[in-house]
Structure 1
């Protein structure tokens, strides 16, 4: 059965024209749409650009991070571990490279399409984690740089029902080394789609024989 209708209004660009750590908790409850699939956001992480050692933009402007240095309200999509895409929403004024990583959410529209893409997943796990979220929404390299505040855009962020502030929790970001104690991971307490926290584990170097 179809769920409730999707929100009709987009989040305005001015919503994103603020520091990522301010935008991030306020994104919880809003809805990301790509094609016929929509996901209500339940977990996010903030990154502060060149002042944040955990950010891709910490060392400055590169071809990979150029979108992060652009205007707010655009998608920054990156490829990680040679197999997964993750999507961020660019925040703050142009030139700051501030962004919010979308870590998890609940599918609220396009369930049949989502099930075809994630056939082996339970309803809870469809978009539980940043890579799964991108797979469920079919977000990849072609979506890098898209304007999520444009009504004509294929990737859009809709103004859903904001999460209850009493249920929003924060803690260290998942799997980062630099800035690992910064409490900029935000999630909705008790929501089953929130991904498990994992601390950074340094990679072990292979021993070579003398």
Structure 2
């Protein structure tokens, strides 16, 4: 089956080397990737990534800017490692580690479209008014897929045994748009947010209220 934005093709392992270059390149490579989650009944829910943000240790907006800590340790592991953290004490966020081992870099998965398990994901997101809002934002995505720490923090997303997996069905976006990252105070104008141009589920841009004005 030829994959489409909302229709999965034949799933294959995501190539780790596609994540081994710079964090921005990895963030672009993740657009169109499939995140699959094994449910308690043995079935799978699956979504296609349509928005990402890149972060690395020489970036003041990155959690890894202060070096390796107990919290940020997954960011320094092999490409394809999950870094799951809680944002504002409320929402879990899923990141995919990038660049070589020892470099603190990752791409935040910001938004996705549903490929499988729609009813289950809907049940976990009762506040979603429309399907467009279901996975529109990193906290919503993790809520729908029941991704959290410590259960999924530090796992290898490229392992076929993992409960949450990163896969490739050959889909590639026709066009990618780039812009500043959402809600970061430092390096607010660095254009490291990437999105599939045709996806309506991409989250809205919000500038941090204390971010310096450009120029």
Q: What TM-score does the superposition give when structure 1 sets the normalisation length?
A: 0.90
Alpha-carbon separation, structure 1, partners of 2:115 and 2:209: 34
What is the match of residue 10 of structure 2?
Answer: 7
Take 2:108 and 2:8, find their aligned partners in 1: how far apart are those partners? 26
The residue number in structure 2 matching 1:69 is 76
SS in 2 for 1:62: coil
Q: How does 1:157-168 map to 2 (within 5 A)?
A: 157-160=166-169, 161-164=171-174, 167-168=175-176
Question: 1:21 is matched with which residue?
Answer: 24
Q: Distance in 1 between matches of 2:145 and 2:9?
A: 15
Count how many residue pairs are aligned between Structure 1 and Structure 2: 198
Contiguous gaps of at least 5 residues in structure 1: 204-210
Which residue does the alignment assign to 1:155? 164
2:188 to 151, 166, 180: 180
Task: Give the structure 1 partner of residue 97 of structure 2.
Answer: 90
> How far off is 1:6 after superposition?
5.1
CA contact (8 A) 1:173 1:180 kept: yes
Deviations along 1:110-154, whole A, 9 cap, x unmatched?
111101101231211110000001011110001001101111111
Q: C-alpha distance in 2, partners of 1:48/1:78?
A: 16
Between the aligned partners of 1:7 and 1:143, the Cα distance in structure 2 is: 25
1:101 corresponds to 2:108: yes
SS in 1 for 2:161: coil
Deviations 1:13-43 (A, max 9, x none): 2121111111111211111111222111111
Instruction: Give yes or no for contact 2:18–2:29 (8 Å, CA) kept in 1.
Output: no
In the other structure, the counterpart of 2:155 is 146
Residue 136 (1) aligns with residue 139 (2): no
Consecutive unaligned residues in structure 2, runs of 5 or more: 1-5, 39-43
**Counterpart for residue 78 of structure 1:** 85
Distance 1:186 1:5 in 2: 21
1:47 corresponds to which of 55, 59, 74: 55
Equivalent in the alignment of 1:113: 120
The C-alpha deviation readout for 1:54-97, integer Å capped at 9, x for no partner, is 00010111110011111111100001111110010000101111
